[in-house]
Chain A
Amino acid sequence: MRAGRDERAHVRGAQRGSASDLEALFRIHWPRAYRAAYLVTHDAQAAEDIAQEGFLAAVRALDRFDRRRPFGPWLHRIVVNRAIDWTRARRLRAEVELSEALPAADHSGPPSDDLLAALGRLPPEHRAVIVLRHLLEFTPGEIAEALGLPRGTVNSRLRRGLDSLKDEL
């Protein structure tokens, strides 16, 4: 409860132009935003860009932000959706191949442990629901709303994702 009040105070301060309040929001929410983006993309540079874009979107929308809403879930929703878009758009580099189906994310760089490697073998959409549920602690209903999916699809992706992870590990 106290954390929620603090957060609202920081949002109000940032809306009034306080850089220290914005920094407080950044310190609270950046680690999870960056981690969520990394776990979906498996690319540190992309995760940095995506988390950065999330915060820049927050700065741009600050004046319109409704202080009664929690800041973290709003930011994380932007970040995870962008991370999914990024994994889907990797093949945009070859302009003529755009219409082709996009493959599962490429795993650049060595995975730091078994869980990361197992996550990397899941389709990005399954990774995203696991990250939203188990790292960011969204409810299935909140995940459905954030990703624009039916709740049944979220539940089945969660189930299949967790089953795959269990098999891998």
Chain B
Amino acid sequence: MRRELERIDIPGEHEARDRTWSVVSGAFAEREPRPPERHRLRLAVVIAVVAALLAAALSPPGRAVLDEIREAVGVEHAQPALFSLPAEGRLLVASDPGVWVVDEDGSKRLLGDYRDATWSPFGRFVGATRANELAALEPGGDVRWTLARHGVSFPRWSGTDIDTRIAYLVGRRPRVVAGDGTADEPLCSTSSRRAAAAWRPGAGFVIALLTPSGAVRVLDLDG
């Protein structure tokens, strides 16, 4: 059985291997391995600082100092940074640690270390990018599919209830993929500026891109 399975001819196997190696070696070159010794040292310093603070807070003089600080800055009366949204709905927020979904009541969920994100047209999914990956996730964080691409950015999701597409950049090359992660292809043969494309609202797939010279180029993908 094994010999039979290994004999099956797979179209484009060698080209696929070369393309994959180029992506994998690129990702490897960008990774920053953390020296373990320094990591351990940093951890020890953090533990020592936390222990010192704890000791200070638990001793009577330490508690007095903390009380004074609290009184001076009014920490007890301060509002939490974000306690509720001013209107119904949810927010998608990108920050240094990654992309968050913020619910109406202010509760937040970190989806992962993504750099940029987009809602699907009906807000049921999130398209998100990090250095080498475009992913479709549920707002709860479950990953539905991923696409490995080197240097991916600026995802923008559009469509109707029967067909959706995500436009994104790989480097400066605009691409488009169906909402299920299939039919991934170049959006056009030319490059664009490193800026998000904009879909025309409503039915159809008309998209505007910024060309390297600064002009706006409009494409009808079904035209």
Which A residues are closer than 8 A to B by beta carbons? 14-17, 19, 22-23, 26, 30-31, 34-35, 38-39, 44-49, 51-53, 55-56, 59-60, 62-63, 82, 85-86, 89-96, 98, 109, 112-113, 115-116, 130-131, 134-135, 137
Contacts and interface: CB of A to CB of B under 8 A. Distances in A.
Given A48-B19, A93-B179, A96-B161, A39 B8 contact: yes
A44 B15 CA distance: 11
Nearest to B9: A112
Interface residues of B, number: 50
Interface in B5-27: 5-13, 16-17, 19-21, 23-25, 27
Contacts of A62: 31, 33
Nearest to A30: B17
Interface of B: 1-2, 4-13, 16-17, 19-21, 23-25, 27-29, 31, 33-34, 120-122, 124-125, 132-133, 136, 144-148, 159, 161-164, 178-182, 184
11 contacts: A22-B24, A35-B5, A44-B10, A48-B12, A49-B184, A52-B20, A53-B146, A82-B146, A90-B182, A93-B179, A93-B180
A17 B24 contact: no
- Of A14, A63, A95, most buried by chain B (CB within 10 Å of CB) is A95
